[in-house]
Structure formats: C-alpha cells, structure tokens
Amino acid sequence: MKIGESPCDFLGFQTPFEEAEFIIQPFPYEYTTTFGKGTGNGPEKVLEVSDYLEMYDEESGTEPYLRGIRTATPIELPEIKEEKDVEEAGRLFQKYFENKKKLLTIGGEHTITYPIFKEALKYYPKTGVLHLDAHGDLRDEYEGSRYNHACVMRRVADTGVKMVSAGIRAISAEEMQFINSNSDRIKLFLAHHIYDNTGWLEKALSFLPDEVYLTIDVDVFDSSVIRATGTPEPGGLSWYYILKLLKNIFLRKNVIAVDIVEICPDPPYEVSTYSVAKLIYKIISYWK
C-alpha cells in the first residue's frame, strides 16, 4: 500500500494542509468492477478537467475555493479481501478525521466507501449513511467476494448504523429481503417513487441521525447528465433534482465526509467527468 504521485490538483491549485478546510482525496481503486471497466482512471480525469470550472458559483454568489481546498496524493493499494485490509486502508484517512477536515473522496469503485466509513465511525460513532445510487449494493457476497462493489452497502449495514438508500432502480430479491428484515435501520426510496417529487426527503432526514456520511454513486444520475459509469441504469435523477437534494442535506445535517464513486472517463468530450468535477464544487459551496 502506498500514497502515489498526484498528477494534478482540483481547480489547479493547492492550499497548505493546515489552512485547507476541504481535502480532495483521489482513491483510484478498481478490482471488482463487473460490467464497464475504467473507474480506476476516474479520479485523475476529474481532477484534470476541474481546471476548466469557473471558480465563481452563480447559485451562492461566492467563490468557494477561497475557503481552502487541498488535493491529496492518490491512494494505491492491493485488493481488499478481508477485514485487516479494510482497517489498513481506513488508517490512511485517520489524519483527516483527527484534524476535522471536510473530506471528499473521488473513486474508484464503490468498495472504497466501506474502509473510509469504518474509520469515520471511530470519530463519529453516532453517524448514519445516506446512499445515492442506482443499485442496492446490499448483496452479502458477489462473485466469491464479500468486498465486491455490489456488497459495499451490506458491509456498511453490518456496522449497525442507520442507512437510507435513494434513487435505486436495480436491486435483487435477496437485497429486498434484507431491507425488509432490517426496516428499523434501513430505508429504501426507489427511483420510480421519487423522481418527480422530493417529499420523501423529509422522511429520510428525520430517520437519519444528525451526523451523516454521504456516498454518491454517479449512476444515480440520469445518463443525460452522466453516461460514463461502470454499471449504467436508465431512469436516473436529474442534475437540478440532485442539487436540490444535496442543498437540503447540507442545510439539515452535519455531513462528516463525502465520497463520489464509479465515474469512468468518456473521451473525447469528457461530459461525465466534467459533470462530476462540477458536482464536487457544488458540494463544497453547500457544505457549511
């Protein structure tokens, strides 16, 4: 396991660690992807295209970068196969939680959420999870591994925290049975129930504790916004729908960390990676 060389920085500049309010952590982990490949290249490309973002945010009327953003060097590690690997990966995030940084990790496949969240629990033991995704990711095992990207939210659920999954539109019978058997701590909001209203959000936020870890698989978006992702599904949520959702989350909850995963670069136009870079900057503008 090692910290690699950083190819580029978010927005093309660096704030010293001590002064930075936000840490962008690239985590190009990719071992268990099962359909489209290339998510390991996602973080670098997102950072590269971020140079083209306007630093003025028209919605807030501010320049969020002035709050201080530091891009960490990418994390490179062997495949996670057992809990000791999870613990080893999680320790790489210890300094961010100890220093109370606002951590935003760019994946890589969705498996990365588990070690980050498990480390976060040591500092925020009462936190819950808001999971935005097209897929349930609640299988106990997939293709012979309990640490497959299709199992990541099951491993998170194993910690006993409260969890909300929203935007889901591809889920197995096994996963639905698990959700129904654990309805006291897991709530599911399917895409076809929520795509034209946000009334569910009040129920979701009331269910979750004050502290929330936010994980966003980019396939939660409609493919007209982000098409380049490992396991695409039709019928996703729109750009402004997600922004409205995020703005409410950051107003109502203490978000302890965010990850954005499963982006696959899409040359020659890089529409998807640019959208992810813009999403990161919008999150920074909402995060108080």
Beta bridge partners of 25: 105
Q: Label residue 230 by pLDDT band (50, 70, 90).
A: confident
Task: Kindly report, residue by residue over 56-98, the tens digit of the pLDDT.
Answer: 999 999 999 999 999 999 999 999 999 999 999 999 999 999 9
From CA 263, how far away is CA 266, in angstroms rounded?
9
Residue 7 in this model has a pLDDT that exceeds 90: no
Contacts with 263 (C-beta within 8 Å, 6 or more apart), sequence order: 39, 42, 43, 45, 46, 106, 107, 218, 226, 228, 229, 272, 273, 276
From CA 53, how far away is CA 261, in angstroms rounded?
20
Mean pLDDT of the region 21-40:
85
State the maximum Cα–Cα separation within the chain, in Å, rounded to a whole number: 50
Q: What is the pLDDT of residue 128?
A: 98
Mean pLDDT, the chain, rounded, equals 94
Residue 199 in this model has a pLDDT that exceeds 50: yes
Residue 2 in this model has a pLDDT that exceeds 60: no
DSSP string, 57-91: BTTTTB-GGGG-EEEPPPEE-PPP-SHHHHHHHHG
Percent of the chain past pLDDT 70, that is, above it, reads 96
Q: Which tokens in the block code for residue 17?
A: 């660690």
Residue 130 in this model has a pLDDT that exceeds 60: yes
Q: Which tokens in the block code for residue 7?
A: 């190819």
Residue with tokens 């690997």: 85
Pick the CATH number of 2-286 from 3.30.1330.80, 3.40.800.10, 3.40.640.10, 3.30.70.420: 3.40.800.10
